[in-house]
Structure 1
C-alpha cells in the first residue's frame, strides 16, 4: 500500500461524545427534538448536511447559522482539551515514517486545523480533506477520492482507517482497503463493519505491513 488515509472523528480524536454533547444541547436550547437515531445519522455527514438535519429537527435558525454556532462551540471545547484516541500520536508518526498519509474528515476545515495543530500532527499529513471541500459527505466516496487525488495515488493503493458506518461505506465505495477501529460507544452497523478488510481494537494495532 502506498498511502494511508485516516478519518479524524472517532479514529484520531475521541470527538463523537463531544459532538453529541454540543449538538444535543444546541438542539434542546433552540426548540428542536433530538431523536433516538440522531447521533448515528449525524456521524459522517458534512457540515451543510448536519446543519440542515438539525434544522429539520426543529432548530429555528438557518442551517448556515446553526453550523457557525455549533462549530464555534466545538472549537472552544478543543482549545480547552483535544481528546486524542489511545495511541493516536505514536501511530500516525510511526506510519508517516514509511508511507504518505492523508486525512478525509467530515469535520469543517477550521476544526481539522485546530486538532492537528494542537496534537502536533499537522506535519505528518501530506493531504487533508474536509467534506466541506467536496460535493458530498460520507457515505459518498468524495472525500476519500479527493484525498487520494491530492496524495497523487490511486484509491486502490490506499488503506483507509475508519470507525463509523458512514465512513466505512465511504472508503469502501472509493475502492480503498479499509481497516475498522470500532468506537466502543458508537459501534458501526454490522453490514458496514463487514466491508472492512481488517478490524483492530485500537490504533496501536495498526502496522505498515497489515496488508503486505
Structure 2
C-alpha cells in the first residue's frame, strides 16, 4: 500500500533551518558582559530551544538590568545584524524545503524567535517557503508546551498528529511530540537521545519527502498499536 504524505511539515527555525545558535550565544555574552557579568557556553546551551522570555529572565539573574521585552529586542537586533552579514543555512534544510514546496506539501515555520526575526528569515529564502508562521511573540506558552505546533497545524487546517515536525532541541521536540506530531530530531548544537520518541539524525543532507513519508507512516503505525500490559 502506498503510504500517504504527511498533511504538512512543521519546521523549527533556529538550529534547524538556520545555524543561528552561535549568533544568539555571542549576543548573550555581549549583553551580560556589558553589565559586568560573565556568560559561559554551558550556560548558553541551557537556553537552546527555550522561549525568549524564559531566556530573558535567566539573563536578568546574571545581572542584565533590562526588562524582558528590552532584552529580547536587544538580542534579536544583534542576531539579525549578524545574519545580515552572513546567513548560515543548515545543511540540507533548503533542499528539503524546496522539494516539499515543489510537491505541494503545506509547511509552517514554528519558532520561539519573535515575528520580525522570523519574517527576516522567510524573506531571505528565494522561493515561497512557508504557508504560515507561528512566532514566539504570538503564543502564550513557549516550547516545550505544544501550543506553537498546535497553532501551526490549526492555521494550515490540518491535524497535528497528521504532520511531521523537524526540530533540533529537546524542548522543541517535546513540544512537537506533545502536539501529537511525528518528530524528526536533527542533532546540532545540543545532544539528542536515541529511543526518546523521535527519530534522530545528524543532518538533513539527503533527506527527501520519501523519507518523511516513511517516518510519518511509521509514527502513525506506532500510535495505532494497541496498548499492552507490561
TM-score normalised according to structure 1 size: 0.90
1:59-208 equivalences in 2 (<5 Å): 59-98=64-103, 99-121=105-127, 123-183=128-188, 185-188=189-192, 190=193, 194-196=196-198, 198-208=199-209
The number of residues matched between the two structures is 207
Q: Is the 8 A contact 2:145 2:175 kept in 1?
A: yes
Task: Give, in angstroms, the shift of residue 37 of structure 1.
Answer: 4.1
Q: Is the 8 A contact 2:28 2:39 kept in 1?
A: no
Superposition RMSD on alpha carbons, in Å? Answer: 1.7
Q: Is the 8 A contact 2:92 2:206 kept in 1?
A: no
Change (3 A) 1:158 1:18: same
Deviation readout 1:29-52 (Å, 9 max, x if unpaired): 223342564223212222222222
Deviation readout 1:39-87 (Å, 9 max, x if unpaired): 2321222222222221122112222221221111111111111111112
Distance 1:66 1:96 in 2: 35
Match of 2:222 in 1: none
3-state SS, counterpart of residue 124 of structure 1: coil
Structure index of larger Rg = 2
Gaps of 5+ in 1: none
Q: Answer yes or no: is 1:6 the counterpart of 2:11.
A: yes
Q: Is the 8 A contact 2:184 2:200 kept in 1?
A: yes
Structure 1 stretches (4+) deviating beyond 6 angstroms? none
